[in-house]
Amino acid sequence: MRAYLDHNATSPMRPEAREAMLAALALSGNASSVHAEGRAARAIVETAREQIAARLDCAPRQLVFTSGGTEANVMALSPAWLGGGGPGRLFISAVEHASVLQGGRFGADQTAKLAVDAEGVVVLETAGQAFAAWHDETGGAPFLASVMLANNETGAIQPVAELAALAHEFGGLFHCDAVQAFGKLPVDAAALGPDLLTISAHKVGGPKGAGALAILRDDLPVATLLNGGGQESGYRAGTENIAAIAGFGAIAEAAPPPWDRIAMLRDRLEADIAAIAPERRVLSGNAPRLANTSLLAVAGMDAETILMGLDLAGVAVSAGSACSSGKVAPSHVLAAMGAAPELGAAAIRVSLGWNTGDEDVERFIAAWKEVYGRFAERRRAA
């Protein structure tokens, strides 16, 4: 048996999602058709919209289904949101997911990064100063800020409610990428206060290829992502992926995994690794974190070698984000945190999920101990 500990990349599908998808696949109708078969398909889409909206505490009409978090982020990061010229500046944190870091439809000269501290958390004072400077320099020209709720590599939780309030204070809009947090934290749109919010299904046991953008302000003249048949209230044309949307809704409605138990497993894992390698670092270990995430590093070790050794021992983890075509590349997140390069080169991400058990953690610890033992021997011999 293998131990799968890469849930932040994608989580194995939960039975609730699979059952909902199989039922949807049995239907033959197009959700845009007016006959009985089409109405049945439409009912699945709208039921899922209601299920997800209930989890977010927003109105169903505010949700636009997309093919995933990346597409929803690109839709959100559009200068056309306010009509006319739109926001002239996009502020993003230095630790965002690649789909936000690349700026969506904003040009490189329109994008500015917000600094983070050594734990990978956006510095509120610095963010407020950046928003205020833009406001003063432009006489109150609109801007958009985008900060994730939880980091995909470190699990660090960002002060989104405070950042959204700061953006609004200086006349800006605020977008939150909540893909990694959805299903792992309470994501209450009203409490967090963003104008736009991105979620996805596959990080918590839903299907790949299902995401949504919540448009939480009714006065935004929204930029159309795809022109065509007018689906999703005209925001995103194309026949809806009924089965994936059904699975998405089922995950939103299902009881959440026992995150308290998962946090205990993560803490046990970190304690056991510390006993084996006292010099190990847990990146963002002093920040509020997702209950399931641990980014571990021992300076001098090589992340790719660790991943290969663990994989051969039947353990699946990753080195940071899973969006780099399978490459193990330097982490922009750790660089932004000011982590030493040797830590960045050694960091592996262990992310637990709904089906993680004691035996998975035990297998990881045993495999990591063996890999670390070989490294320690070479270090002593050097």
Closest CA to 164 of 189, 137, 182, 183: 189
Summarize the confidence of residues 312-316 as an average pLDDT: 98
Q: How confident is the model at residue 87 (pLDDT cuts 50, 70, 90)?
A: confident
Among candidate residues 234, 253, 272, the one where a domain is terminated: 253
Least confident of 16-25, 194-203, 271-280, 317-326: 317-326
Least confident of 27-36, 56-65, 116-125, 214-223: 214-223
For residue 92, the enclosing domain spans: 15-253
Summarize the confidence of residues 102-112 as an average pLDDT: 90
Residue 157 has pLDDT above 70, yes or no: yes
- Could you tell me if 90 and 214 lie in one domain? yes
- Could you tell me if 30 and 96 lie in one domain? yes
Residues listed for the chain: 382
- Could you tell me if 103 and 7 lie in one domain? no
- Could you tell me if 52 and 137 lie in one domain? yes
Summarize the confidence of residues 236-258 as an average pLDDT: 94
Summarize the confidence of residues 192-206 as an average pLDDT: 97
> In degrees rounded to 5, what are phi and psi of residue 45?
-60, -45
pLDDT at position 218? 85
Numbers of helices and strands, H then E, in the chain: 13, 12
Which tokens belong to 83?
């009509």
- Could you tell me if 261 and 112 lie in one domain? no
Among candidate residues 253, 270, 290, the one where a domain is terminated: 253
- Could you tell me if 119 and 140 lie in one domain? yes
Identify whether the C-beta of residue 317 lies closer than 8 Å to the C-beta of residue 364. yes
The strand pair at 144-146 and 90-93 is best described as: parallel
Percent of the chain with pLDDT over 70: 95
Where b means 16+ CB within 10 Å and e means fewer, 272-295 reads bbeeebeebbbbbbebebbbbbbb
Spatial neighbors of 246 by CB under 8 A, at least 6 apart, are: 20, 21, 23, 24, 44, 47, 48
Average pLDDT, the chain: 93
Q: What is the CATH number of the domain that holds 357?
A: 3.90.1150.10
- Could you tell me if 104 and 241 lie in one domain? yes
Taking residue 209's Cβ as centre, other Cβ atoms within 10 Å add up to 18
Split into its structural domains, the chain has a count of 2
Q: What is the CATH number of the domain that holds 221?
A: 3.40.640.10
The strand pair at 90-93 and 111-114 is best described as: parallel
Closest CA to 127 of 83, 74, 165: 165
Q: How far apart are CA 158 and CA 149, in angstroms?
A: 5
Among candidate residues 202, 229, 253, the one where a domain is terminated: 253
pTM score, two decimals?
0.94
Treating both helix axes as pointing N-terminal to C-terminal, what angle do 124-138 and 160-169 enclose, rounded to 10 degrees?
20
Residue 84 gets the label, from left (phi > 0), alpha (psi -120 to 50) or beta, of left
Residue 238 is classified by DSSP as S
Q: How far apart are CA 260 and CA 242, in angstroms?
A: 33
- Could you tell me if 270 and 358 lie in one domain? yes
Which residues are known catalytic residues? 323
